Amino acid sequence: MHTVIVYESVYGNTRDVAEAIAEGVRRTDPGAAVDCLPVSEANADTARSADLLVVGGPTHMHGMSSGISRRMAAAAEGHKEGREEAAADARETAEGPGLRAWFHDLPTTGSGTYAAAFDTRVDMPRAGGAANGIAHRLSHHHDDVVAEPEGFIVEGNDGPLRAGELDRARAWGAGLV
């Protein structure tokens, strides 16, 4: 089985969840080929080569990020003392393609690939989530969404992940296999 995990991450939390999901897939199926890629490195051929396509991103303004929300997050990160490296990573992510653009460039003549969606989000009333929008786009591209969209909790707007979320992500990834 070939699993491709595509993620967008501004602060690194979504990347950490994606990598934990990959670990869960590998634990369940040690022979699986697993590619865990930032959205900037994923292309349509990579996505369509998957037997299982898992896509995730951060929640910004109640849903999937946009160019504006990524630039706002990078600017906010740039104002924090002692976070120069994180600010540089956030600026690079903000300037690169996000999931919305990636989906736009992905052909809608999907191959019926199995798929799943996840996000990172804060645990607050009406905070929203990106996973439902990601799952909707996967379905629109004729992928067979095999799991309910999943949200993984971050503390504060930029993290860290809540204790236990990486273990939960590993278990979720294992369950997708």
Mean pLDDT by 10 residues, the chain (177 residues): 94 95 98 96 92 94 70 63 51 68 80 91 92 95 94 91 98 97
* Predicted structure pTM score: 0.88
Provide the pLDDT for residue 92: 54
Residue 66: the pLDDT is 66
Within 8-149, strands assigned E span 33-38, 52-60, 63-64, 114-122, 144-145
Torsion angle of the four alpha carbons 167, 171, 173, 174, in this order, in degrees rounded to the nearest 10: 140
What's the pLDDT at 105?
Answer: 86
Q: pLDDT value at position 77?
A: 63
Where along the chain do its domains lie? 2-176
Task: Tell me which fold the domain 2-176 belongs to.
Answer: Rossmann fold (3.40.50)
Element (H, E) at 73: helix 67-78
Q: Is 46 exposed, middle or buried (0-12, 13-18, 19+ CB in 10 A)?
A: middle
- Cβ atoms 161, 152 nearer than 8 A: yes
Q: How many CB atoms lie within 10 A of CB 67?
A: 14
What pLDDT was estimated at residue 91?
47
The pLDDT score that the predictor gives to residue 168 is 98
Bridge partners for 120 per DSSP: 58, 152
